[in-house]
Amino acid sequence: MPDKIQVSAPILHNQRLQKDYYQLDLSAASIAKLAKPGQFVHVQLPELQHRILRRPFSIFNVDLDSGCLSIIYKIVGEGTEHLSKLAPGDVLDLLGPLGNGYTLFPKNRKGIIVAGGYGSAATYLLAKNAPAPPVVLIGGRSKDDILLQDDFKRLGCELKIATNDGSAGHHGMVTELLTQAIAKTSNPAVAACGPNAMLKAVSEIVEKNGIDAELSLDHAMCCGVGACFACVVKRKADTPNGWAYSRTCIDGPVFKASEIWWD
Ligand SMILES: Cc1cc2nc3c(=O)[nH]c(=O)nc-3n(C[C@H](O)[C@H](O)[C@H](O)COP(=O)(O)OP(=O)(O)OC[C@H]3O[C@@H](n4cnc5c(N)ncnc54)[C@H](O)[C@@H]3O)c2cc1C
Ligand code: FES
């Protein structure tokens, strides 16, 4: 059995969730079967011949009975705008599951998830597959950027929200909630996905607390399979300058916080 597959995946549903965020459900049983939390699919967009590159999206959820694989996307440019116009029955070419996902939370540690933006989608399967419901901290600019609250609640997760404008939950940064959550938890295991500034702050907090975290980095990609080196990040290494490049698409997107070389 190969570890990644290219399939033609018919769209089952494509619907707006809130603001510019959409959920896309695809029929892709063979990829759904292999998917692990934190992995992604590389999506070829039809009818954008002048934009031949695929677009990476985290696998939000899978339903093994129906073979449905879901992603959540935000409209940020031409590709995602085009995606939002597609209808059930349209077919997308998918490559996946790609990348190195999260380690499942161990039984003897309390999971803490920190998510910003589409990070809620990238970490949902981790919560779903956890031995006990984790604490989930979601941050965003305003309440309209907080995704999947009900889905995490349905899993039994303790949910805390932070918004920059104070329109929901804690008025401030989600990383402030992380500091509080770590202080209240013995032996926490931390996993995060969100903007790089948030991930850097998560790294600093866990380091101060003498623990590590797993971070899913967002880096623009081209091939998605390790061939082009468009997605390199600096990773600590035993080299004269203290770092070496790693490819986000195949060495990540999930890395240990202690391995990342932040400039
Ligand atoms: C491993 C991985 C998983 C991802 N998962 C998701 C997901 O679950 N949901 C989701 O909405 N998005 C996700 N992204 C980001 C997504 O791939 C981009 O938003 C998308 O490719 C943009 O395509 P576009 O043609 O609409 O935008 P473009 O026209 O290519 O770009 C429009 C604007 O978006 C910016 N942009 C492009 N790519 C990225 C990126 N990777 N990160 C931040 N800004 C970007 C560009 O700089 C530009 O300003 C993920 C990215 C990676 C690397
Ligand atoms: S995107 Fe080509 S090597 Fe990672």
pLDDT number for residue 50: 58
Check pLDDT > 80 for residue 213.
yes
For residue 112, the CA-to-ligand 2 centroid distance in Å is 29
pLDDT number for residue 49: 56
Ligand nearest to the CA of 228: 2
* Any domain includes 103: no
* Any domain includes 172: yes
Q: Which residues line ligand 2 (CB under 6 A)?
A: 221-224, 226-231, 247, 249
What would the mean pLDDT of 158-172 be, rounded to a whole number? 97
pLDDT number for residue 263: 86
Kindly report, residue by residue over 27-57, the tens digit of the pLDDT: 999 999 999 999 999 999 876 655 668 999 9
Ligand nearest to the CA of 248: 2
18 and 81 assigned to the same domain: yes
Give the pLDDT band (50/70/90) at residue 175: very high
CATH number of domain containing 70 = 2.40.30.10
pLDDT number for residue 51: 60
Q: What residues have CB less than 8 Å from 97, skipping those under 6 apart?
A: 3, 4, 31, 34, 35, 36, 39, 40, 41, 59
- Within its chain, how far is the Cα of 184 from the centroid? 25
Q: Which two tokens stand for residue 74?
A: 């935000």
Count other Cβ atoms within 10 Å, centred on residue 17.
Answer: 14
Give the pLDDT band (50/70/90) at residue 2: low
* Any domain includes 150: yes
Kindly report, residue by residue over 99-125, the tens digit of the pLDDT: 999 999 999 999 999 999 999 999 999
Q: Which two tokens stand for residue 155?
A: 């899993």
CA distance 62 to 26: 10
CA distance 62 to 42: 16
* Any domain includes 89: yes
CA distance 26 to 9: 6
Q: Best of 14, 24, 57, 199 to mutate for ligand 1, by most ligand atoms within 8 A of CB? A: 57
CA distance 22 to 255: 27
* Any domain includes 105: no
189 and 67 assigned to the same domain: no
Check pLDDT > 60 for residue 22.
yes
Quote the mean pLDDT of the chain: 95
pLDDT number for residue 53: 83
For residue 37, the CA-to-ligand 2 centroid distance in Å is 20
129 and 230 assigned to the same domain: yes
pLDDT number for residue 46: 75
pLDDT number for residue 45: 85
pLDDT number for residue 95: 96
CATH number of domain containing 175 = 3.40.50.80
160 within 8 A of 169, measured Cβ to Cβ: yes
Beta partners for 247?
Answer: 232
Q: Best of 223, 233, 245 to mutate for ligand 2, by most ligand atoms within 8 A of CB? A: 223
pLDDT number for residue 254: 98
What would the mean pLDDT of 51-80 be, rounded to a whole number? 94
Q: Can you give the residue range of the structural domain that contains 71?
A: 5-98
Q: Best of 54, 98, 217, 221 to mutate for ligand 2, by most ligand atoms within 8 A of CB? A: 221
Kindly report, residue by residue over 229-251, the tens digit of the pLDDT: 999 999 999 999 999 999 999 99
**Residue 210: CA atoms inside 13 Å, Cβ hemisphere, count?**
3
Kindly report, residue by residue over 180-204, the tens digit of the pLDDT: 999 999 999 999 999 999 999 999 9
**Residue whose entry in the numeric block shows the structure tokens 């080196």:** 229
Q: How many domains does the chain have?
A: 2
What would the mean pLDDT of 138-147 be, rounded to a whole number? 96
147 and 215 assigned to the same domain: yes
Check pLDDT > 60 for residue 1.
no
140 and 79 assigned to the same domain: no
Selection from 28, 25, 41 nearest residue 99 by Cα: 41
Index of the ligand 2 atom closest to the CA of residue 247:
4
68 and 197 assigned to the same domain: no
72 and 176 assigned to the same domain: no
CA distance 35 to 101: 9
What would the mean pLDDT of 21-28 be, rounded to a whole number? 98
pLDDT number for residue 114: 98
